[in-house]
Chain A
Amino acid sequence: MLGRIVRRSLRQHALSTSITSASVGLACGLLLSVWVLKDQSRATFTQINGGFDAVLGARSSKLQLVLNAIFHLEASPANIAWSDYLEIQKNPNVALAVPIAMGDNFRGFRVVGTLPELFTKTEYAPRKRYLVKSSGRLFDIGLREAVVGNFAARKLGLRRGDVFHPYHGLTFDEKMQHAEEYVVVGILEPSNTPADRVIWIPLEGVQKMSGHSTTAATELSAVLVKLKNPIAGRTLELQYNRQGDRLTFAWPIGATIAELLNKVGWFENVLGWVAGLVALVAAGSVMASIYNSMNERRRQIAILRALGARRQTVFMAIFLEAVSIAVLGAVIGYFFYLVLVWIAGRVIHGQTGVLIDPFAWNWAMLWAPAGLVALGALAGIVPGLKAYRTDVADNLAPTS
């Protein structure tokens, strides 16, 4: 019976029901999105290391090195010598050292020179290797061949057999085209890591690209380092960062990114507070919409009471109406959440290659809608009490 009264009332006030539940939905979607994006980006970004423990590069901040060599975002601080690579490669604590060289792009996507070991000896995540799609193969280090990251290939429309000219610099300038021609010999399977946004060519290709300085032929941008045991990182950090002044050893990668995320944590908090305030405003709108309609509802409440409805019944009818609007809003909230995270996810994927999964479980998926419903319930108490106190005789006009 209460269900029928609530359903009818929601339908009778269809416009305000739609608007208020949409505002609750927006608040719920916003809260969910902020939380999931915050948690997932933190979890994902701190786990991305390309399968390496550290980055060795020219003296700069650890963060710049990691962003440049692992996330392919920042500019390279400076180059290091080939001998630096040989030295760390020979270090007994190092399991694998892979040099990378960068400085070119193709229509905005980085062209990075490296060795095939990056693909053959590295797991970018536990039990996950970079794989070339079955129709292709890895580049030959002696040839002008390229393996293209999945996202870059899709965006650039590159397919196996296509030919392209790299452009000088990390940002695209059509006047800076290199003379060399590269053939795409393989497209990588999606890895949902920054490697998806990179065009990989043989190391020598970047080093000896026309127009690069002659010293570039023996220089590198960075060396990606995999250690034999974690303790070795401290020794190398001491060796390069404290005792030397020419190179920086960025270790551990995850902690370096976490440091960045902590620095921008205030922004996440601001977003959280904004979403929380939107939730409060939405709850307020539920209360206002029902409360403002109480004058027209008085007669209906009086009729219900005259038919035998108890005060608690009319209180519950109004209270449950507010709860229903909030529940409806929570359902709409999931829809808003999917749309918002889909849009944000595309931006993040486009910028970093990292994939955000809107369906991955997060406790916010439970507490955010539950919190909104609880706020909606609170918002129903004041108009519910007004219904409770409605005088039957006064509102059954006219009298004779």
Chain B
Amino acid sequence: MALLEISGLKKSYADPDGARQAILDVPAFGLEEKAQVGLRGQSGSGKTTLLHLIAGILTPDAGSVRIADTDISALSEPKRDRFRAMNVGYIFQTFNLLQGFSCLENVLLSMAFGAGEDRGRATALLERVGLRERLHYVPRQLSTGQQQRAAIARALANRPRLVLADEPTGNLDTANGREALRLIQETCRESGAALLLVSHDADVLGVFANVFEFETLNRAQANAEVKR
């Protein structure tokens, strides 16, 4: 059974002149439990909007997002927040670590919003991503590669069923990008989480057996292309 089911998902934004601009129109998309899928799309094509809708950060204009039988688009905002904390891990291009907090505290804080703080698991996750010696370092004391590794540990803190990765290698050099990608795939596999990774980079997506073209998936973009 599919972990993630998207159906008739639409999202638009208001133009400066007030007109609605359709940004997303995904008739159907799904992801199996523990699957690892890549989504290729150009910058600005609406990939982040799709991930935000899946995570419940945004609500759709129409359609539904179901994760493990829960229609999160129908949940109230507090319930979506709670659901996201418990079930969805998010890895950002710019890491988005909390600057005043150490690596360990970043992971613990994520746990505090979800399943509850577990210092042992937080430490183990950070050790797993190679930050054993950097547990108490704050983000500015870490290299970009180390920051993204801390963010990977944080995304897995609450044993999520789904991990969303938005251009996770976009701010890293090739070697660190490759390492981050390896860690994301391995740790998701180890924790039994499904992974949906979006990127514009063919090299990054080359490691995935299943890669979807976002342009094909998103009718809003296809229509825009036709109009052009």
Contact = CB atoms under 8 A, between A and B. Distances in A.
Q: Which of A308, A311, A392 has the most CB of B within 10 A?
A: A308
Nearest to B97: A303
B142 to A, nearest CB: 16
Interface residues of A, number: 27
A46 interface: no
A1 B93 contact: no
Given A399-B44, A400-B200, A393 B93 contact: no
Interface string A382-400: 0000000000110011111
A306 B109 CA distance: 12
A396 B98 CA distance: 12
Interface in A1-36: 1, 4-5, 8-9, 11-12
Contact of B92 (A300, A309, A396): A396
Given A306-B55, A311-B77, A399 B85 contact: no
B100 A307 contact: no
A307 B85 contact: yes
A397 B93 CA distance: 9
A144 B110 CA distance: 86
A4 B57 contact: no
Interface string B42-69: 0111011100100101100000000000
A310 B81 contact: yes
Contacts of B94: 397-398
Nearest to A392: B57
A72 interface: no
B114 A399 contact: no
A304 interface: yes
A226 interface: no
B96 A4 contact: no
A315 to B, nearest CB: 12
Interface residues of B, number: 42
Nearest to B47: A400
A110 interface: no
Interface string A69-90: 0000000000000000000000
Contacts of B92: 396
A70 to B, nearest CB: 61
Nearest to A2: B112
B167 interface: yes
B166 interface: yes
B192 interface: no
B170 interface: yes
B166 A304 contact: no
Interface string B121-161: 00000000000000000000000000000000010000000
A306 B90 CA distance: 8
Q: Which of B48, B167, B170 has the most CB of A within 10 A?
A: B48
A306 B97 CA distance: 11
Contact of B110 (A307, A396, A399): A307
A300 B99 contact: yes
B109 A1 contact: yes
B99 A12 contact: yes
B26 interface: no
Contacts of B100: 8-9, 11-12
B38 interface: no
Contact of B105 (A4, A303, A306, A397): A4
Nearest to B41: A400
Contacts of A1: 109, 112-113, 117
Nearest to B116: A1
B101 A8 contact: yes
B18 interface: no
Contacts of B97: 303
B84 interface: yes
A197 interface: no
B36 to A, nearest CB: 19
Contacts of A400: 41, 43-45, 47-48, 93, 166-167, 170, 198-200
A5 B90 contact: no
B57 A393 contact: yes
B219 interface: no
Nearest to A5: B109
A398 B93 contact: yes
Contacts of B48: 393, 396, 399-400
B201 to A, nearest CB: 11
B97 to A, nearest CB: 8
A344 to B, nearest CB: 41
Contacts of B167: 400
B178 interface: no
Contact of B109 (A4, A312, A392): A4
B86 interface: yes
B16 interface: no
Contacts of B47: 399-400
Interface in A328-349: none
21 contacts: A1-B113, A4-B101, A8-B105, A11-B100, A299-B96, A305-B57, A306-B84, A307-B85, A307-B110, A307-B154, A309-B85, A311-B81, A392-B52, A396-B57, A396-B92, A396-B96, A398-B93, A399-B48, A400-B166, A400-B198, A400-B200
7 residue pairs, one from A and one from B, having the closest CB atoms: A308-B85, A308-B113, A399-B48, A1-B112, A8-B100, A12-B100, A303-B96
Interface of B: 41, 43-45, 47-49, 52, 55, 57-58, 77-78, 81-82, 84-86, 90, 92-94, 96-101, 105, 109-110, 112-114, 117, 154, 166-167, 170, 198-200
